[in-house]
């Protein structure tokens, strides 16, 4: 389990004064990915058109390039605005298998200062039931601090 207070402090320091969304996403993807060996793929999908996500900065193997809001765990997070913590991706109706190794997934909506969803943070694990409520809460707080700040 990552030391979330330390991870948040590192990200805060690295992102101080930065306003470019892609630069922020790239920095967070790197820092979060390397904070825990459970995190097999870590990246962002950005809202690029109504009801459409496209891949953004990430760490790990290839990801899906385009995900409609109507499909998959990332689409569900974007569509509902709710964190998706999936213990077994095989049991999730409509799961999109971007990587055959993925067993569990955590997807956190990313909102801008106005509360609009601008993307999602997607973390995949090659371990079943890899993510805890603490992961979801701590990572959501980091995402909100970086992207929804005033």
Q: Give 61-116 pLDDT, tens digit per residue.
A: 988 999 999 999 999 999 999 999 999 988 877 767 776 778 999 999 999 999 99
Judging by DSSP bridges, how do beta strands 66-68 and 52-59 pair with one another?
antiparallel
150 has pLDDT over 80: no
Torsion-angle region of residue 132: left (phi > 0), alpha (psi -120 to 50) or beta?
Answer: beta
Query: In this predicted structure, what is the pLDDT of residue 15?
Result: 97
Domains of the chain: residue spans and CATH: 4-147 (3.30.450.40)
Q: Is the pTM value of this prediction over 0.85?
A: yes
């Amino acid at each position: 389990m990552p030391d979330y207070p330390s991870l948040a402090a590192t990200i805060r320091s690295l992102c101080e004064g930065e306003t470019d969304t892609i630069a922020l996403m790239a920095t967070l993807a790197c820092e979060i990915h390397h904070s825990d060996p459970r995190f097999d793929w870590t990246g962002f999908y950005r809202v690029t058109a109504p009801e459409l996500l496209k891949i953004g900065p990430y760490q790990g193997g290839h990801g899906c390039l385009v995900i409609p809001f109507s499909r998959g765990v990332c689409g569900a997070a974007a569509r509902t605005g709710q964190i998706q913590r999936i213990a077994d991706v095989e049991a999730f109706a409509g799961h999109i298998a971007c990587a055959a190794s993925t067993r569990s997934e955590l997807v956190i909506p990313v909102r801008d200062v106005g509360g609009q969803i601008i993307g999602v943070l997607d973390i995949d694990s090659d371990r079943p039931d890899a993510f805890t409520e603490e992961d979801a809460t701590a990572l959501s707080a980091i995402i909100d601090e970086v992207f929804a700040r005033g």
